[in-house]
Chains A and B, each alone.
Chain A
């Protein structure tokens, strides 16, 4: 028997039993589609987080006051005496050759008002360096000018959302707004960037760091953002930060230094394993599809007993009958997988239209493994029915006993 003939015989048998065939195709398609869609979602989540981090700037180091023990099983400890990070600490970091920019960050919540409108927002005290370090962009006006960071100045750059809420469509540049009990002149408006590390920059006001410190009456900084000279100098810069601050803090290492790479690889690892887990769970549906194929094929074998007996009587060999049924199972799973891939691609396309900012990409490995697993399950679960068919006694099969 020629292979091409065996295939067309299989196709005829499958198209001859429509509802049975559709049932199995559906099961296989759902299995394959869910594997592909779920891995695309997992992979998308991973890329989304990675993008978020890289929008922070590619060689960022974050310095946090207090030593946070991230290892160990007890709740995070703040060891030592945890001295404040001061502006002087921040400025001292500029000495290191591995460090390109520093942006001190003082943070607080304050009411902001313009005429009768008042809102509670986050006020960020920083320097001109914040703009390159956090990859901020301006919609209008200017950012904080390069100036002595220890000098106060009554100027502010506000987020676009805040601008709309306070000024509507009116011009905001040059207007005076009130933060707490002080007046600041608006010199710039930020471009919307969306969420960046959990902070909505549409809803903030940036003022010079010295002004923020006096506004909130504190010497301490919330963070120091450090940009290393380059990606390779991140470890050196991190060490420099630790050394310099330690020296200034009576030889006590009372800061936590987070590099973006470390954060990124942690999240990357988490999302990668999440994707694998989800893909694994989805493959269970493939196995279920395989079992369904086996069941339906077994029913097909018993329904087609007479046919199998006849093929044997007119000279069909055992292995030819085996091959016929395996080809049927293989065709089913291949066609099911193809339908599943079409379903997956169209759902992902629809999702992409609905959430354009979420990067949905079907990884090639998930496509390949979904196809592979569906073919393997189809054939594996096809073996039992095929063997049963091949072993039928032709006389018994023809007699329908």
Chain B
């Protein structure tokens, strides 16, 4: 489903060039569950941003469902993000003035879907997250875990094939973090391709594949037969 070939990405900082990604090659199958781990600054977020079409590689190719995304223009990339990719961020990124339902509804509004259908889908998504009674609450009236589940509902409302989560538990306590991970895994079980960046080895080891990054390069991969396995 996804194929990265020889991806390079560097940033100019002053007169220095920071190589955030070096010759990254990666294949993901539909329904995969992958965690990306590595020290701070190793390029995990940069890789995720490129997977999510928020960033473009300097060189290399990124095939998403047979399409070479490096040939798409900005508008097409926005449409691809809207229809095929969901994002979950460490700091939730909910719009503070909108309530939970309105935040979840945003991607549907952008896609130009009719209000009637929108309301139905939002209600269903919130129910799935166990947040039906919080639909009218604004983010500041929700706990961290609830906020992240609203964000997950928003990320999945368009039924994307790919769900990207950058340290989704980074701002949460252990209990809420576990709930969020379980929610993501449940979505994976229904067929969504899930990529999670994390610093937490316990969370990382739950994935069926763990990719280890150092200094912008993939230095190793730990494949596992089944998700939710024990720590090696």
Binds B, one of A35-43, A178-186, A303-311: A303-311
Chain A residues, Cβ within 8 Å of B112: 1-2, 5
Interface range on chain A: under 10, 10 to 19, 20 to 34, or 35 or more?
20 to 34
Is A9's CB within 8 Å of the partner chain B? yes
B54 within 8 A of A: yes
A5-B109, A314-B87 given as contacts; is B78 within 8 A of A395 (CB)?
Answer: no
Q: How far is the CB of B158 from chain A (nearest CB, A)?
A: 8
Cβ-based interface call for A315 (8 A): yes
Task: Please determine whether B79 and A317 come into contact, CB atoms closer than 8 angstroms.
Answer: yes
Verify A398–B110 contact, CB threshold 8 A: no
- Considering only residues 110-152 of chain B, those with a C-beta below 8 Å from chain A are 110-112
How many chain B residues touch the partner (CB < 8 A)?
Answer: 28
Secondary structure at the A interface, as helix, strand, loop or mixed, is helix
Q: Which of B48-93 contact A (CB under 8 A)?
A: 49, 52, 54-55, 74-75, 78-83, 87, 89, 93
Closest Cβ–Cβ distance, residue A13 to chain B (whole Å)? 7
Interface check B154, CB cutoff 8 A:
yes
Does B95 interact with chain A (Cβ within 8 Å)?
A: yes
Q: A1-B109, A5-B109, A315-B107 are in contact. Are A310 and B79 (CB under 8 A)?
A: no
Q: How far is the CA of A314 from the CA of B97 in the complex (A)?
A: 18
Contact yes or no, A314 B89, CB < 8 A: no
Cβ-neighbour of A315 out of B78, B89, B93, B97 (below 8 A): B78
Residue ID in chain A nearest B94 by CB atoms: A310
- Verify if B98 is at the interface (C-beta below 8 Å from A): yes
Task: Give the tally of cross-chain contacts (CB within 8 A).
Answer: 65
Contact partner of B54 (CB less than 8 A), chosen from A307, A313, A317, A319, is: A313
Taking CB atoms, residues of chain A closer than 8 Å to B93 are: 306, 309-310, 313, 398
List residues of B (198-227) whose CB comes within 8 Å of A's CBs.
none
Minimum CB–CB distance for A188 against chain B, Å: 76
- Structural contact, A12 and B97, CB atoms closer than 8 A: yes
> For chain A residues 285-332, which have a beta carbon within 8 Å of chain B?
306-307, 309-320
CA of A309 to CA of B55 in the docked complex: distance in angstroms?
12
Does A394 count as interface, using CB distance less than 8 angstroms? yes
Contact status of A12 and B111, CB under 8 A, knowing A306-B93, A310-B93, A314-B154: no
A314 touches B106 (CB 8 A): yes
Contact check, A13 vs B97: say whether CB atoms are below 8 A apart: yes
Most chain-B Cβ atoms within 10 A of its Cβ — which of A13, A318, A395?
A395
B97 touches A16 (CB 8 A): yes
- Chain A: which residue is nearest B164 at the CB level? A313
Given contacts A5-B109, A394-B54, A395-B49, contact A317 B97 (CB under 8 A): no
A sample of 14 more A-B contacts (CB under 8 A), given A1-B110, A314-B87, A316-B110, is: A2-B109, A12-B97, A16-B97, A306-B93, A307-B95, A311-B106, A312-B78, A314-B81, A315-B78, A315-B79, A315-B110, A317-B78, A318-B74, A395-B49
Which 4 interchain pairs have the tightest Cβ spacing? A315-B82, A16-B97, A315-B81, A317-B78
List residues of chain B with CB under 8 Å of any chain A CB: 49, 52, 54-55, 74-75, 78-83, 87, 89, 93, 95, 97-98, 102, 106-107, 109-112, 154-155, 158
CB within 8 Å of B: which residues of A?
1-2, 5, 9, 12-13, 16-17, 306-307, 309-320, 394-395, 398
Name 7 A/B residue pairs within 8 A (Cβ), A-sorted.
A1-B109, A9-B109, A16-B97, A306-B93, A313-B93, A317-B75, A398-B93
